[in-house]
Structures are given as C-alpha cells and as structure tokens.
Amino acid sequence: QPPSVGPGGWEGYCGQTAICNLAAMEGIFIPPEQLFWPCYDMTPGTRPGTFVDCINSINNVGEWEICYPPVSSGSNPILWLHSQIHGVGGHPVAVLITTPDGQLHWVTVVEVKDPGTPQCQVVYLQYGREDTMSCAAFEDVWSLDETVLGTIVQGTGVIAGYTTICQVSPPDILVDQPPSAPNPDYVTVGCYPGDEPHDVWQRCRDALKDWVVVDGYVWDTSCEDIWADSSISADDWRWQACNDLVQQCIAQTNAVCVVNTGAAGCAGCRRRKMTLVDPDSDYCPPSESSTTAYTSSTYYSSMTESSSSVYTSTAYTSSTYATSPPETTSYY
C-alpha cells in the first residue's frame, strides 16, 4: 500500500490496494498507484460505490457489487463472511472497517478460521501485510458502531455498517477455455508442473518487454518503459496494447500446456492461492504427466488480434500481494 497523499492524508490508497489484492487473486496484477484516477471521487478515500465502479472497470476480474450480511434477520455476520469465502463460487472480499484512531479503512478478508467457536479469527490483508483479529472484535469494527465517525457516516445513508464488496460472477477468462490447438502466431513461454498464475504471467511479461509501441508522438517506446512509467495509467491505450499481448501469451501458453500434457495443465488454476495462512488451500495439483515444456520464439508482428485487456504491472513481492507499508495513517 503506497503512502497516503493529499492534505491530511486525504487519499490513503487502502481502497485501491484492496482492489489490487482482489484482482491479484484472479491473476491480474496492478500497482495501487495506477488506480488513483480510475478510483477517484471527491470524498476522502474510496466510497463503496466508487470501489465497485473501479473494480468492475478492470477486465477479467469478474463482476462485483456492494453486499451486506442479513443481520436484521438475526443471522451471524461472521458465518456469512465465512460463506462468502468458502461457499460455492466463494472468493475473498473487501470490507470497510474503522481503525483504532476512528478512520474508515478498506481491508481484504481472505479467511475466517474456526467460525462459530471462541477461537474464531478473521484473517485480512492491509498495509502490505497479513493480520488477524478475533471474530468478535472484527464484527465490532465492521459494524461501524464503535466510533462516533462510524455512526455519523451511517446516518448520511452513503455508507452503512457491514459494508462488503462481493464477487457476484466469476471472470470469463480466456485461459480457462483454451483453444483446441495452439495458434502459431502467439508468443508462448512454457508452462511447468507446480506453476502458479504469476509465474506464467512473469514469463510472458519478460518475453514481451521489448515489444515497441508507436503512438505517433513518442517513438520506440517499449512495453517495459510503458509499464515503468507512472504517468501512463491503466486505461491508456498503450498500456492496454502491451497487456493485450501478455493476455494472449498467457492464453496461448496454457493452451500449449493442455495440448502437450493431455491434462488440465496450468489452465483454470488462477484462483488457487487465496490465503497466506494456508498456502495449499484451493491449489491446482501439479500434473505428473507433464514432462515437456513448450517454448517458442515467435513474436507478434502486428496488433490485429483482439483480446480483452489485462491490467498488469510490477509484480507484488509478497506472494503477489501489495507491499510497502505506508508512511502515514491510511484513510479509507
């Protein structure tokens, strides 16, 4: 999570960081800074409505919406939170809480351990690290009832207690539906047993970093330079052009993997690493039948192929999650 910016830490980047963590769990890697303008609104931090609009503007992360546990019916919100992660189609969620100093703050909940017991703990990501909190304490800060600020904000009708961002439909990702045979015009980089989604992504990115984008104004601008330029946002056509190439490379690499191994290969395993607490949860097991990795030196000669953009950039260095602890207090 980057340091807060603006007067008094007006923009804390916790909302953007939560979006990046949710996207990373689908194999889409974005630095939080790239989402400053796509997630911008006039309020301090990121309102829930802005959060949803921002994450839904990113291709291949599925569809997200604001959701709430049915507390009015007397149900246990922590059990509901557990079901959001572990139920059919489950996925980690973003949750709005209050911090000890009374600020609103977005975190990414990746696990609820021992639900319904006194040992129950919520595992969540914030500030570039993984933290835990007792379920009772987490429910208090999630309800927004523990601070005067939370009560005032709820009274405005803009934000309510137990605000959560949930995935309502999974992404329609090309790599989960590989073509029946490899396309020889696509770059491939090899897929190996035990690969994680980030491994294939990094190989594709390395293979395509020297590809040159010509925009009529700046000549010989490589994808590597574009990815490294913080002034080029994720909705810039040059950024998307380079990431289209990465998307196609990932799809082709997975397709080749399927053809060569006669098994699932590395397709369909993008959501496997959901928590650092149990790194083996939801893993796609390595294929023992895979003995040959396919590689190719074929590179793109044109941008005629169409593909949904994948917003990618510098890889997160802590198991694909955002790092760099903030220098100032984060506001939501």
pLDDT tens digits, one per residue of 249-261 = 887 777 666 655 5
pLDDT at 41: 78
CATH 3.90.70.10 applies to domain 14-58+63-169 = yes
Question: Could you tell me if residue 216 is left (phi over 0), alpha (psi between -120 and 50 degrees) or otherwise beta?
Answer: left
Tokens of 274: 């959901």
CA–CA separation, 251 vs 200, rounded Å? Answer: 10
Give residue-wise pLDDT tens across range 141-150.
998 865 545 4
Residues facing 121 on adjacent strands? 113, 134
Spatial contact of 120 and 135, defined as CB atoms under 8 Å apart: yes
**Radius of gyration (Cα) for the chain, nearest Å?**
21
pLDDT of residue 322: 37
**Per-residue confidence (pLDDT) for residue 260, from 0 to 100:** 56
The per-residue pLDDT for 103 is 82
- H-state helical runs in the chain: 14-24, 48-56, 77-86, 135-143, 148-155, 197-208, 223-228, 237-261
Locate the domains of the chain by residue range.
14-58+63-169, 173-310
Q: What is the pLDDT of residue 176?
A: 38
CA 323 from chain centre, in angstroms, equals: 13
Which pair of tokens denotes residue 121? 């703990």
**pLDDT tens across the length of the chain (332 residues):** 777 776 666 677 899 999 999 988 877 778 888 888 778 777 777 889 999 999 998 877 889 999 999 887 677 999 999 999 987 777 899 999 988 887 889 999 999 999 999 999 999 999 889 999 999 999 999 988 655 454 455 445 557 889 999 998 887 644 433 444 455 566 777 766 666 667 788 888 888 888 876 654 444 578 888 888 888 888 888 888 888 888 888 877 776 666 555 444 343 343 333 322 333 333 333 333 332 222 222 222 222 222 232 222 222 222 333 333 333 322 22
* φ, ψ for residue 75, nearest 5 deg: -75, 160
The reported pLDDT for the residue numbered 121 is 97
pLDDT at residue 44 in the model: 74
Q: How far apart are CA 219 and CA 301, in angstroms?
A: 16
Which residue pairs, CB below 8 angstroms and at least 24 apart, start in 37-40? 37/233, 38/233, 38/234, 38/235, 39/15
Q: What was the pLDDT predicted at 158?
A: 59
% of the chain exceeding 90 in pLDDT? 22
Structure tokens belonging to residue 107: 């975190």
Do residues 127 and 326 touch, judged by C-beta distance below 8 A? yes
Among all chains, which residue has been given the structure tokens 């916790």?
14
255 within 8 A of 178, measured Cβ to Cβ: yes
